[in-house]
Amino acid sequence: MSQKTVLFDKHVQQGGKIVDFAGWQMPINYGSQIEEHHQVRQDAGMFDVSHMTVVDLTGSRVKAFLQYLLANDVARLKQPGKALYSCMLNEQGGVIDDLIIYGMAINDSAEDWVRMVVNAGTRDKDLAWITKQAAAFDVDVKEGSGLAMIAVQGPNAIEKALKVMPLDVSQAAAGLGRFEGAASGEWFVGRTGYTGEDGFEIILPDSEAMGFWDALFKAGVKPCGLGARDTLRLEAGMNLYGTDMDESTSPLISGLGWTIAWEPADRDFIGRQALEQEKAAGVAQKLVGLVLEDKGVLRGHQKVIVAGAGEGETTSGTFSPSLKQAIALARVPAATAEQCQVEIRGKLLNARVVKPVFVRDGKSCID
């Protein structure tokens, strides 16, 4: 049976078209997915992302544990509140999940605290994997309960959100740089997102979520659903777990090689040996962006043909409301250059290969 967030009834009242998403009842839109997309690009929109899972790690060996658990290097978290994006891998180098961690206190003391935010669809396997690996490090793993999460995104998102936050929370959040987080009482604010726009992801007690949602709405922040969230993240070139990568794919062929910290060379993280072998053998594929030059619609799992190099496949595809063109992410042969063709309904249509970031901060990145 699908779960409901504390804001479910509010979504229904506001006209949200409800669908099942990773076991949760979520709004696909509130009337117009295109309008919601442009609202985020041009002003400020809000998303109920309470289905995401918050995991707190505490103990004196949190740093050592994360150095082993994650492909990225938590030693980069040099100041309290700094955030880091990383993949969590299995022994074969496949992606169990991609996640964000906030290093709230990493001093090799009993009070060390790192907050993780992991995907809803991978919650059970993530918690089982993290708990299993943590046992050898005496790290306490605690899933957050009684929490809601609201993402406020867009060029005016921070200004509008700060005006309606509790005073102590707004004071803590006002000084955040990009990819930083701050806690104030039971509230937690991260200046991160999944849209290619600036903004906050706000974790708060679920008892206060309804009032905060209403306050944001009155401040001119419009509700947005999963549909706009997907077109926004694809324009920003951000991977969707289970679509653009999973346990059968490594970061090296998923456009996430930049999240692997190879140094220090003696750091033994889970999946390292498999990645080193893959790299030494020559990485056969890469993740690229595609812009369709002919008339058609790009979707996931369409065949990509690269002359002289072989074949690949789109992993995500959509019509970009910002660019007014069909775009996609695709896993293709490593030798792929600037052009390819995509098979759509039995026809081969021409596509341009670009870096897999199409729009950032409201501006085209493909011109």
pLDDT in tens, 157-191: 999 999 999 999 999 999 999 999 999 999 999 99
> What pLDDT, on a 0 to 100 scale, did the predictor assign at position 92?
98
CA angle (144 as vertex; 139, 149 as ends), nearest 5:
135
Six-digit token string for 193: 């997102």
- From CA 30, how far away is CA 11, in angstroms rounded? 8
Task: Give me the residues paired with residue 247 across strands.
Answer: none
Amino acid at residue number 70 = L
pLDDT-flagged residues of the chain (< 50): none
CA proximity to 320, closest of 221, 196, 198, 155: 196
What span, in angstroms and rounded, lies between the C-alpha atoms of 359 and 154?
A: 13
- Token pair of 180 as six digits: 């930083």
Q: What is the DSSP letter of 207?
A: H
Kindly report, residue by residue over 100-145, the tens digit of the pLDDT: 999 999 988 889 999 999 999 999 999 999 999 999 999 999 999 9
In angstroms, the CA 22 to CA 120 distance is 6
pLDDT at 339: 98
Evaluate whether 203 touches 141 at the Cβ level (below 8 Å). no
DSSP secondary structure code for residue 230 in this structure: H
- Can you tell me the distance from the alpha carbon of 35 to that of 26, in angstroms, rounded to the nearest whole number? 18
pLDDT of residue 1: 60
Model pLDDT, residue 367? 78
Report the Cα–Cα distance between both ends of the chain, in Å, rounded. Answer: 46
pTM: 0.96
53-82 burial code (b ≥16 CB/10 A, e <16): bbbbbbbebbbebbbbbbbbbbbebeebbb
Domain boundaries defined on the chain:
1-282, 284-364
Find all residues with CB under 8 Å of 265, minimum gap 6, and list them: none
Paired residues of 54 in beta bridges? 117
> How many Å apart are CA 163 and CA 281, to the nearest integer?
54
Quote the radius of gyration of the chain (alpha carbons, Å): 21
Looking at CATH, the fold of the domain delimited by 284-364 is given as Elongation Factor Tu (Ef-tu); domain 3 (2.40.30)
Cβ atoms within 10 Å, residue 146: 9
Helices (H), the chain: 8-13, 33-42, 62-69, 123-134, 157-164, 167-174, 206-218, 226-235, 272-281
- Give backbone dihedrals phi and psi of 321, rounded to 5 degrees, phi first: -65, -30
Assign domain 1-282 to its CATH superfamily. Answer: Probable tRNA modification gtpase trme; domain 1 (3.30.1360.120)
